[in-house]
Amino acid sequence: MQKAPRRWLYLSTIVWSLASVSPTIADSTEASQSGPPTMIPIAADGVQRATVTLDSYSYAPNHLIVEAGKPVELTLTSVTTIIPHNFIIKDPAGSLSVEQDVSAGKTVTITFTPTQPGTFPIYCDKRLWPLPSHRDKGMEGKLEVR
């Protein structure tokens, strides 16, 4: 008799604590969307290297500026303890498509070469149903290709 109600209480506590995080996220959304533009330097070997920190729910920096036609190497470092994230860059016109999962606490390096100038969205499409997606919680940014 006792087991079922106790489990329900446990689950509802989790849902409640996840929901209670939302107001904080709404605040940080404003800040993350207005992050300062970061021009990624070109190293001696011609590679544009930078490190991006993934947190719940943000990228830092989140506005990256790179040059077209030169390889970009991004080190994606997750500082979360539980929540998995990903790093997606999509050009709707098809010139760029990057998608990389980054597990909690992990570091992954990705390389791609943008060919077309433009500004492309960066975002995390993970979501824990029925909560909004991480992108909706502010986990987004942009890649500006010049």
> Contact residues for Cu ion (CB under 5 A)?
85, 124, 126, 134, 139
Q: How far out from the chain centre does Cα 54 lie?
A: 6
Minimum distance of Cu ion from residue 9's CB (angstroms): 28
Residue placing its CB nearer to Cu ion in the complex, 127 or 146: 127
Minimum distance of Cu ion from residue 146's CB (angstroms): 27
Residue placing its CB nearer to Cu ion in the complex, 118 or 132: 132
Residue placing its CB nearer to Cu ion in the complex, 48 or 78: 78
> What totals of helices (H) and strands (E) does the chain contain, helices first?
1, 10
Q: Please report which helix (H) or strand (E) contains residue 25, including its range.
A: helix 3-33
Residue closest to 141 by CA, chosen among 89, 98, 86, 78: 89
Minimum distance of Cu ion from residue 58's CB (angstroms): 9
